Amino acid sequence: MSSLSRGRILTLAGAGLLAGCSGGSSGSSVAVGSKDFTEELILGEMYAQLLEHGGLHVTRKLNLGGTQVAMAALRRGDIDLYPEYTGTALITVLKAPPQGDAAAIYAKVKGAYARDFALTWLQPAPMNDTQALATTQETAHKYNLRSLSDLSRAAPKLRLGAIPEFTKREDGLPGLQRVYGGFEFAQVRLFDIGLKYEALVRGQVDVVVAFGTDGQIVADKLVIFADDKHFWPAYQVAPVVRAATLTRLPQIATILNGLAPLLTDDAMRSLNFAVDGKKDEPGDVARDFLTAHKLL
């Protein structure tokens, strides 16, 4: 997840999606949390279903809120684990600069979380839910655009569709202008995060702010610009677990690490689109994926 506010909040009601917090787990029970957007709900359900299949009693505390809320619940022991992103941990939690390759970022957050918070990062997925900029295939072909460097030079001919924070934050447009130069768009139009892809497809803008595993990338066959100067850090996802919980239930690591290699960019985009585009339930989407890969 990006350090910008995702805004992709999916309001879900029903059994098992609990926004409140209660006491920690004991015995063979484990409380699984998540943040409050589609991808986190799917991942939280995957973790919960895998642990249930492994014989543990799971309490779902999904849809908790943003990073600070989920992290506070984990540190208090109200939940035992939740999906977190390496880039988010680096920038939002550790307040470190967004630099280093994916492996270096993972090593940094894993070490700091163990030392400072008694929390353990399990194996990260290959998926990268990084910030990005996207366009249609037609626009990319017309202007011969492949990378952010290409886009920085072509920006005066193009209209950008963005969310408000992107135009102000150092890891948004100001940072791109500093690192790449250029990026002086002909027009910048601000949209609610749920409307920006529609604006792109309808031709109201030429480029939009995106996230690497958004379902609309697959659905609309969009082009993601290569970050050729590595401006944005990697946002790999992994379960973050209380060390005390792993001491009590060490099998959690084996169970959840088996999922990580399957969560590629393409897989996660398809899963997200199943919920956001097709309006399937996160629990059903998670179950179908795990069953197809013979994990359930």
pLDDT at position 171 is 78
Render pLDDT for 203-246 as a digit per residue (tens, 0 to 9).
Answer: 999 999 998 999 999 889 999 999 999 899 899 999 999 999 99
pTM: 0.82
Would 141 be classed as within a structural domain? yes
DSSP code at position 147? B
Whether residue 161 is contained in a domain is answered as yes
Apex 31 CA angle, 19 and 110, nearest 5: 105
With respect to residue 4, please indicate whether it lies within any of the assigned structural domains. Answer: no
Listed residues 224, 244, 273: the one ending a domain: 224
Query: Burial code of 49-65, b = ≥16 C-beta within 10 A, e = fewer?
Result: bbbbebebebbbbbbbe
Q: Are residues 102 and 135 in the same domain?
A: no
Q: Please list the pLDDT of the chain residue by residue as tens digits (296 residues).
A: 433 334 433 333 333 333 333 344 567 899 999 998 899 999 999 999 999 999 999 999 999 998 999 999 999 999 999 999 999 899 889 998 877 789 999 999 999 999 999 999 999 999 999 989 999 999 999 999 999 999 999 999 999 999 887 888 777 899 899 999 999 999 999 988 778 999 999 999 999 999 899 999 988 999 999 999 989 989 999 999 999 999 999 999 999 999 999 999 999 999 999 998 899 999 999 999 999 999 99
List strands edge to edge, sheet with 223-224: 187-190, 159-162, 207-211, 131-135, 223-224
> Which pLDDT does position 218 carry in this prediction?
86
CATH code at position 154: 3.40.190.120
Kindly report the number of other CB atoms within 10 A of residue 68's CB atom: 11
52: containing domain: 29-128+236-292
Same domain, 145 and 211: yes
Is 282 inside any structural domain?
A: yes
Does residue 230 fall inside a structural domain?
A: no
Residue 58 pairs in a beta bridge with 30
Do 44 and 109 lie in one domain? The reply is yes
pLDDT at 8: 37
The C-alpha angle 271, 272, 274, rounded to 5 degrees, equals 65
Question: Is residue 104 domain-shared with residue 141, that is, in the same domain?
Answer: no
113 secondary structure, DSSP code: H
Query: Do 106 and 76 fall into the same domain?
Result: yes
**Joined tokens for residue 261:** 């290699």
Same domain, residue pair 98 and 141? no
Domain assignment present for residue 172? The answer is: yes
**Residue 7 placed within a domain:** no
Question: Does residue 8 lie in a domain region?
Answer: no
Last residue of a domain, one of 173, 201, 224: 224
Does 183 lie in the same domain as 143? yes
- For residue 102, the domain's CATH number is 3.40.190.10
- Exposed / middle / buried, residue 6 (Cβ in 10 Å: 0-12, 13-18, 19+): buried
- 118 and 147 both lie in a single domain: no
* Structural tokens at position 109: 């957050």
Look at residue 26 in the predicted model and tell me its pLDDT: 62
What CA–CA distance (Å, rounded) separates 181 from 6? 26
Tokens of 240: 């973050």
| Whether 276 and 220 share a structural domain | no
Give the 3-state secondary structure of residue 237: strand
Residues 118 and 141 in one domain: no
As for how many domains the chain has, the answer is 2
166 and 212 fall within a common domain: yes
CA 184 – CA 260 distance, rounded (Å): 39
Three-state DSSP state, 110? helix
Whether 119 and 248 map to the same domain: the answer is yes
The residue from 187, 204, 224 where one domain ends is 224
